[in-house]
Amino acid sequence: MSLIKDIIYLDMEKDIFDTLKEPNLLLNNEYYFKYIFKKTEKIVCAVFYILSVLKNKEKDKELLRAVEARALGVLERAGKTLSVREEEAPRSARPLAEEFVMLESELRVLAAAGYLSTEHLDVLLAEIDAVLRTIRGFRTQQTARQTATRSVAQRTEKRARTTPRVLPKESTLPQSERRDQIIAVLKAQPGASIKDVTDTIKDYSDKTIQRDLNSMIEEGVVMREGEKRWSKYSLI
């Protein structure tokens, strides 16, 4: 038994290690993991707790099994999204939202059949609505980020075609060029972190982008919320 456990845990550690090597997966997106996946898990646990209280009900067992299967489907769909790359998030998050809509409908049916109190139904629906709004916001944020990335790439490519030249060292690149790119990112993605900006604008170091952001804050162009690595930046 000990050997089997060791093999299982070894495989689990290998899978986790392999996954963590992929920094762009939704599993490694702290916001998605905390506010979408873990919230989904809590909702499913609440549904199963309610179903466990009703497990001895002889009437409408088929209905209870249908709700149970739907709740498991929601959790399974949420789990699958964790292995998706962030750039694919807008497309992959949609099926999860659809599963939640179906779960919401089946919970209403459960309440109509007298198995779920109005109070419990309202709590579950409020939590589901919160996750759905978070999913929509996350999809919009990721789409805007991709649009900003493409826009910056297109402008860079256009400049390269029209004025072919060898780029000077980073320290001599014009500050106005960096600021324009930073503003484009913050317009598309309010509340962006330093990593969000540098992932989109890859020509400059984190320190250079930080200096520009600090200057823009002093000039009243940008505002910062949070401290240190939790700082978020938006246009004023």
Q: How far apart are CA 137 and CA 87, in angstroms?
A: 15
- Could you tell me which residues come within 8 angstroms of residue 50 by beta carbon, excluding any fewer than 6 positions away? 116, 120
Residue 107 in 3-state DSSP? helix
Q: Which residue ranges form the domains of the chain, and what is each CATH number? A: 2-143 (no CATH), 167-235 (1.10.10.10)
Per-residue pLDDT 10s for the chain (236 aa) are: 444 444 344 444 444 444 445 678 888 888 889 999 999 999 999 999 988 888 666 566 888 889 999 999 999 999 999 998 888 888 888 899 999 999 999 999 999 988 889 999 999 999 999 999 988 888 787 777 767 766 666 666 666 566 554 444 444 445 677 888 888 888 888 888 888 888 888 777 888 888 888 888 888 888 888 877 778 888 87
For residue 140, how far is the Cα from the chain centroid? 10
The DSSP result for 49-105, as a single string, is HHHHHTTT--TTHHHHHHHHHHHHHHHHHHHHHTTSBGGGHHHHHHHHHHHHHHHHH
Structure tokens at 208: 């250079």
Provide the token pair at 137.
Answer: 């916001």
pTM for the full predicted model: 0.53
